[in-house]
Chains A and B, each alone.
Chain A
Amino acid sequence: MNVELKNIHKHFGKTYANKGIDLTVQSGTIQGILGENGAGKSTLMKILSGFIQADPGGEIILDGKSVVINSPADAIHVGVGMLHQDPLDFPPMRVLDNFLLGRSGGLFPNRTSVRQDFLNLARQFDFSLDPDNYVDALTVGERQQLEIIRLLWMGARVLILDEPTTGISASQKQKLFATLKKLAEQGMTIIFVSHKLEDVEFLCNQVAVLRAGELVGMTKPPFETSTLVELMFGKVVTLGDRQPAKTGDTVLSLQNVSLEDVRLKIKNVNLDLRAGEVIGLAGLEGSGQGMFIRACAGLVRPVGGKVFLKGRDLTGKAYHAFKHQGVNFLPASRLEEGLVPGLSLTDHFILAEEPTGVFIDRVAGQRLAEDRIKSFNIRGTPTSTVESLSGGNQQRAELALLQSPLSLVLLEHPTRGLDIESVIYIWSKLKDRCKQDGAAIIFISSDLEEVLQYSDRLLVFFSGKVSEPIDAATISVEQLGQLIGGKGWTQKGDANA
């Protein structure tokens, strides 16, 4: 289906999220949409998928016919389906019910024929989805697969994917890309929204770059990474070289630590972590790294072994004992576990300070907030509530909340969903803080490049197995990808790297 967007404007208050965008995508094309956070990608896609409506004057033309899209239901009716970054599905319900929900028809749906349709579609794309499983037992990648075949079944001819490679494994990504190529060959139009240059470069036939609400460039392969980056940011940005940290005294020492929950058992992990060192945890989501990092924070109690922090035995102690020793944990879900929605930046900084007296010194709090906002380059005011900030700025606020002195920072997906400029900023700030306090870092990331770029050593997790610490300089992305997928492990459960 040919998609034409003509003169799309959208303003929120005084700011323009989209400014006069014209975009034409031919049937069978995989169109990339690049742009940093806040460039207007999401707004444009929400307009096309009916979530919001463009300002009057714009036009959406599908296969030569002008259409009005007032809701997501309208959109799917004319053949436009969108795969959202956080899958919009129903976790406690079964896969088949999720698939079926929203399809019109008689009062009593015929589940046998629906199941048949489901299995046929899943087979066509080589997805192994169990229709009777519950969605909350699926990985993000599998939930995407479910949503893709659901949209196809609903009659989508244009598929919009919003940051689909965030939070899925390397092999799932391969499968997703293969699926998208197949769909494009069948004449579907794919619109692929991302800030990940490598994905866009690899997959797309055509890339549009948005900056500050405007379409600033349209390129075709072969793509020049530097050109794309310059288009995205309006300036040249570089990653910088890997810098091995000079390491100091042992901060954290794990001795034969074993952990378990319903699904996984992790046995006998030994690790000595030195000040200034960065350890990356790699693995498919749910391979045990989440439990491991929580054990380092004192949130999960080990079933065996000892945990020492700066020589002090903290085995089985609660989170507060760890925090008291300078351990800070920044969980993946910033707004659920990390920050308090509804409270302003000032409130957060006041809460994080050592309490002095019963009453709050608002004036000092305000000054503190202004200070931190400046030094951490947060786009917001002292009175902004945290949920009104963008993802990148929320993460900066979390860094600004790190306590002092600091001995160990634990981060879960520290840069998920952030654009490259924010990523670079966050990491340089983090490393600065750690150098200053002599702290060590452990982080989880599903982005292999990030793991290799920023860690000194790394641990690979595969369904509860944990590798020996691997020097990040000695391993390639490909090797790491294989280990994560369970290949290249020796009999005794160590990674053979």
Chain B
Amino acid sequence: MNQETLLVGLAGVLAAAAPIIFAVVGETLSERAGVINLSMNGTILLTAMSGFAVAYTTDSIFLGFLAGMLIGALVALVVAFASITLKQSQVAIGFVLALTCRDLAYFLGNPFMGVSGPRLQAMPISGLNDIPVLGPLFFRQEMSTYISYLAIFLAWLWIYRTRPGLMLQGIGEKPAAAYIRGANVNLMRYVYTVIGGALIGLAGPTYSLGVRAGWMGTISGLDGIGWIALSITIFGGWNPARAAFGAYLFAFLQWLGLVLQPVLTQVPSQVLQVAPFPLMILTLLLVNIGNTEWVDRTLAAMPESARKFTAKVLRAMRASPPAALGVPFERD
């Protein structure tokens, strides 16, 4: 494989990861506030269909994306209302919504099956796209990919560097403590869930108007992406940068499966198609190994200097869920 094809392939990986990144960043914001939006898989399908349908009907890609965001926000609003105001189980409501939205997408999407509609075009950024290696890799992408870079950076900046972001961490961790520090916990949970939902709603149109343009109903191959994104959020330790790493890893492994297929002819193609999933889990388990008890025990047996260093590294990698994830807040 020469350098050019390799670069094109890797640039494709970045593009293919974009929708997953929208989904994990959106979910991360929502879960950081303490609300699990389990409807993600359905939301992605429904927004993929509706984004395409709106763009096809109005001939405006922008309106397609906007429709996706609105629908994503709306579904999230249902989750927020049921869990925050009605104090119902987030898991139950999210799961039902995941199924409902999926079936709704297949049902309502029938008229748009297989029609060819508008799609995003690559938008090389002049000046940057001529940089060797980096140019073709990062800067000859579609608009949605650029926005995905931005989403990672902004979400990370927000959570870890700004005052409201710090409060967001607090709300998900111990709402009572955030409350005495002046947070309106339930309002903030609404806000972050809805914003997170809007981001998840970008994932659908990014597929149907870009990465996998068009709407193909059940054979769109999008069913399941939402569940993967959900687990990437968890393994990503509720950190947008780490979650983005997970998304890129997943897209990379999928691409690798395709590339290796002609080379490893003796391996059944199904194995290569499925391999990204277990590989993904293995990698992420390794990253999160610091959470386990036997590691603690092994550490205890190590000499002092090595122990300190390893413990530090593991501590930095370690991620624990927001302690109040899924728990309704009531001031007592």
The residues of A with any CB-CB pair to B shorter than 8 Å are 51-52, 71-73, 76, 82, 88-93, 97, 100-109, 134, 260-262, 265
Partner of A262 from the list B166, B176, B178, B296 (CB cut-off 8 Å) is: B296
Cβ contact within 8 Å between B181 and A101: yes
| Size bin of chain B's contact surface | 20 to 34
Are the CB atoms of A89 and B296 closer together than 8 Å?
A: no
Query: Given the complex, which residues of A lie within 8 Å of B164, measured CB to CB?
Result: 107
Cβ-neighbour of B162 out of A51, A108, A261 (below 8 A): A108
B56 nearest CB across to chain A (Å): 40
Pairs A–B under 8 Å by Cβ, sample size 27: A51-B180, A51-B331, A71-B179, A72-B181, A72-B182, A73-B182, A88-B174, A88-B176, A90-B169, A90-B173, A91-B173, A97-B166, A101-B166, A101-B169, A101-B170, A101-B178, A102-B178, A102-B181, A102-B182, A103-B163, A104-B182, A107-B162, A108-B161, A109-B162, A261-B296, A262-B297, A262-B311
From known contacts A93-B169, A107-B163, infer whether A88 and B177 are also in contact, taking CB-CB under 8 Å: yes
Chain B residue contacts of A101, Cβ below 8 A: 166-167, 169-170, 178, 181
- A interface, over-half SS: loop
Measured between beta carbons, the chain A residues less than 8 angstroms from B182 are: 71-73, 76, 102, 104
What is the distance, in angstroms, from B153's C-beta to the closest C-beta of chain A? Answer: 14
**Bound complex: CA A109 to CA B300 (Å):** 38
Q: How many A-B residue pairs have CB under 8 A?
A: 77
- Docked Cα-Cα span, A91 to B181, in Å, equals 15
Q: How far is the CA of A88 from the CA of B178 in the complex (A)?
A: 8
Q: Does B116 contact A (CB under 8 A)?
A: no
Q: Any chain A CB within 8 A of the CB of B320?
A: yes
Q: Which residues of A contact B180 (CB under 8 A)?
A: 51, 72-73, 82, 88, 102
Please tell me if the beta carbons of B163 and A90 are within 8 angstroms of each other in the complex.
Answer: no
Contact B163 A106 (CB under 8 A): yes
Nearest residue, chain A, Cβ from B299: A262
B177 touches A89 (CB 8 A): yes
The reply to whether A108 and B163 contact each other, CB–CB distance below 8 Å, is: yes
Q: Which positions 240-286 of chain B face chain A at CB distance < 8 Å? A: none
The 3 nearest A-B residue pairs measured at CB: A102-B181, A73-B182, A72-B180
Please indicate the chain A residues that have their CB under 8 angstroms from the CB of B315 in the complex.
Answer: 134
Instruction: State A82–B180 Cα separation when bound (angstroms).
Output: 9
Report A110 CB to chain B, min CB distance, Å. 10
Bound-state CA distance A207–B297 (Å) is: 49
Q: Which residue numbers of B lie inside 8 Å of A, CB to CB?
A: 161-164, 166-167, 169-170, 173-174, 176-183, 296-297, 299-300, 311, 315, 320, 323, 331-332
Write the chain A residue with the least CB distance to B182: A73
How far is A244 from B176 in the complex, measured between Cα atoms in Å? 46
* Alpha-carbon separation in the docked complex, A102 to B167 (Å): 7
Residues of A within 8 A of B332 (CB): 51-52
Identity of the chain A residue whose Cβ is nearest the Cβ of B163 in the assembled complex: A109
Q: A102 — which chain B residues lie within 8 A by C-beta?
A: 167, 170, 178, 180-183
Contact residues in B for A100 (Cβ distance below 8 Å): 163, 166
Using Cβ atoms and an 8 Å threshold, which residues of chain A touch B183? Answer: 102
Q: For the complex, what is the distance from the CA of A159 to the CA of B286, rounded to whole Å?
A: 46
CA distance A134 to B315 in the complex (A): 10
In angstroms, Cα B302 to Cα A265, docked, is 13
> Is there an interface contact between B300 and A260, defined as CB atoms closer than 8 Å?
yes
Kindly list 14 other residue pairs between chains A and B, CB separation below 8 angstroms, not including A108-B161, A262-B311. Answer: A72-B179, A72-B182, A76-B182, A91-B173, A92-B320, A92-B323, A93-B170, A100-B166, A101-B169, A102-B180, A102-B182, A102-B183, A107-B163, A260-B300
Expressed in whole angstroms, the minimum distance between the Cβ of A8 and any Cβ of chain B is 18
B157 closest partner in A (C-beta): A108
Contact of A261 among B166, B170, B297, B323 (CB under 8 A): B297
Q: Specify the chain B residue showing the minimal Cβ separation from A46.
A: B332
How close is A24's CB to chain B, nearest CB, in angstroms?
A: 25
- Distance of A152 Cα from B9 Cα, bound (Å): 57
A86 to chain B minimum Cβ distance, whole angstroms, is 9
Which residue from A72, A82, A261 sits with its C-beta under 8 Å from B300? A261
A91 to chain B, nearest CB (A): 8
Bound form: Cα–Cα A71–B178 in Å = 12
In the bound assembly, the distance between CA atoms of A82 and B332 in angstroms comes to: 15
Q: How far is the CB of A143 from chain B (nearest CB, A)?
A: 11
